Copies of this chain bind each other. A is one copy, B any other.
Amino acid sequence: MSDKSVLDVLDKKTSRRRFLRDGGVVALVAGVASACKPAATKAAQAPATPTTGQTGGTMGPHDTSAGATAQSAADAMDAMHEKGIKAFPAKTSGLGNQLMQPKIDNGVKVYELTAKKIQWETEPGRFVEAWAYNDQVPGPQIRVKEGDRVRIVLNNQLPESTAVHFHGLELPNDQDGVPFITQPPVKSGQTYKYEFTVPNAGSHMYHSHHNSAKQVGLGLLGAFIVEPKELTAHDRVDVDEVFVLNDGAHGYTFNGKSFPATQPIVAKVGQKVRIRYMNEGMMIHPMHLHGMHMTVIAKDGWPVPAPWKCDTLNVAPGERWDVIVNCTNPGTWAFHCHILPLAESDHGMFGMVTALVVQK
């Protein structure tokens, strides 16, 4: 996929996102529901409101005041759940993982990264201190081709030293970004240049490797994607998504946002979606997609010798997994970490939840 096509996709997604926000997920679901296969529609008898197609039972216990109180508490809980889902995808300030356009300097692609402290909105109204590259969490997406000559200029505006490690790239040792092993730390106020010819293709990451438990936890991380010289079928997909998982000081996030501010993946029936999972947190996250399976095609950027299928993929810290979803099943599909306390409480869904929306 060329840089241009990625930008096109991002443009399209933005407008889809606006549609989702304006129309609301409920409208979208209704549209999908009305388009369901005849058999399913006949079978489901799924009512538009809870009162149709359901038998209410005697409701006896609810006539007592204790029952009424219980029912009222239950209704209040449902209302919180509904509110969260209707707010999805919620608008927040700031968007991470935006594709970055390099400057070209004599054939070298130059990416400037400024690390500094910012306020970051993870969900509506929740602002956290973030240490960010270019005011984004995750940092801007760097997407290059195998064999490209690349320069990364790190400008440290943080209150402490830092350095950038290119996680997964098989670089010359002095470009590896580990202070006191491969370079001096980049002190506050300093600028440091990395430059290399891009080696192995795949879904990689860049992040701080100095005081990293804190610095990565606060947001100094981003996707570093290397497209192969020889494109394969998996490189020609309709939607190509990066999915950075995190679980540190910012809460439980996908691409720096918590539900309902996470972004849905949007595709059309018949389209092929590639998801690039990257775990920058401290916990494993078994990612579960409803409605369709995922075919695992790469681990840490390396093609797997025999692709395998699953609906729940365990992603450990530092791992990257690439999967393909063939969008055969229309609808809005929940898509979340299956450690349930990281995805839902009695206040409704939160944290590591998003959706794959497959439009007819």
Q: Considering the chains assembled together, what is the distance between the CA atoms of A111 and B161 in angstroms?
A: 51
Which residues on B sit within 8 Å (CB–CB) of A57? 155, 157, 189-191
Q: What is the CA–CA distance of A140 and B167 in the complex, to the nearest angstrom?
A: 35
Complex: chain B residue closest to A345, CB-CB: B213
Q: Is the CB of A189 within 8 A of B61?
A: yes
Q: Let me know if A124 is at the binding interface, CB within 8 A.
A: no
B290 touches A178 (CB 8 A): yes
The CA-CA distance from A217 to B346 in the complex, in Å, is 13
Chain B residues in 8 Å Cβ range of A345: 211, 213
Copies, count: 3
A231 on the B face (CB < 8 A): no
- Whether A312 is near chain B, meaning CB under 8 Å from some CB there, is yes
A312 and B318 form a contact (CB under 8 A) = yes
- The interface residues of chain B lying within 8 Å CB-to-CB of A56 are 189-191
Q: Which residue of B lies closest to A184 (CB)?
A: B50
Most buried by B among A173, A188, A344: A173
Q: Judging by beta carbons under 8 Å apart, are A341 and B213 in contact? A: yes
Provide the residues of chain B in CB contact with A161, threshold 8 Å. 74, 77-78
**A172→B37 contact, CB < 8 A:** yes
Given contacts A170-B293, A317-B339, contact A81 B211 (CB under 8 A): yes
Residues 132-151 (chain A) with a chain B CB within 8 angstroms: 151
- Consensus secondary structure, chain A interface: mixed
Residues of B within 8 A of A339 (CB): 282, 317
Tell me if A191 and B290 are in contact (CB < 8 A): no
Instruction: Tell me whether A86 and B182 are in contact (CB under 8 A).
Output: no
Interface code A76-87, partner B: CB below 8 Å = 1, 0 otherwise?
Answer: 011001100110
Residues on B with C-beta less than 8 A from A71 are 187-188
Given that A40-B196, A50-B185, A74-B187 are known contacts, is A312 also in contact with B316, CB under 8 Å in the complex?
A: yes
A54–B82 Cα distance when bound, in Å, is: 53
Q: What residue of chain B has the Cβ atom nearest to residue A32's Cβ?
A: B173
Binds B, one of A6-14, A97-105, A232-240, A297-305: A297-305
Inter-chain contact A74/B311, CB cutoff 8 Å: no
Contact mask A27-55 → B, CB, 8 Å, 1/0? 00100110011011111111111100111
Cβ of A318 and Cβ of B306 under 8 Å apart?
Answer: no
A309-B299 CB under 8 A given contacts A174-B41, A189-B61: yes
CA distance A47 to B184 in the complex (A): 8
- Distance of A343 from chain B, by nearest CB (Å): 7
Return chain B residues, CB-CB under 8 Å to A291: 170-171, 173, 176
Flag if A290 contacts B43 (CB, 8 Å): no
**Residues of chain B with a CB closer than 8 A to A212's CB:** 340, 343-344
| A226 to B: closest C-beta gap in Å | 13
- Could you tell me the distance between the alpha carbons of A231 and B56 in the complex, rounded to whole angstroms? 42
Known contacts A174-B331, A178-B334, then 4 further A-B pairs from the complex at CB < 8 Å, ordered by chain A residue:
A41-B174, A43-B151, A70-B188, A178-B290
25 contacts between A and B (CB under 8 A): A32-B173, A41-B172, A42-B195, A43-B175, A43-B196, A46-B184, A56-B189, A57-B191, A61-B189, A77-B211, A78-B179, A167-B288, A173-B330, A173-B332, A173-B333, A211-B346, A284-B316, A286-B316, A293-B300, A300-B310, A302-B308, A302-B309, A305-B306, A312-B317, A317-B340
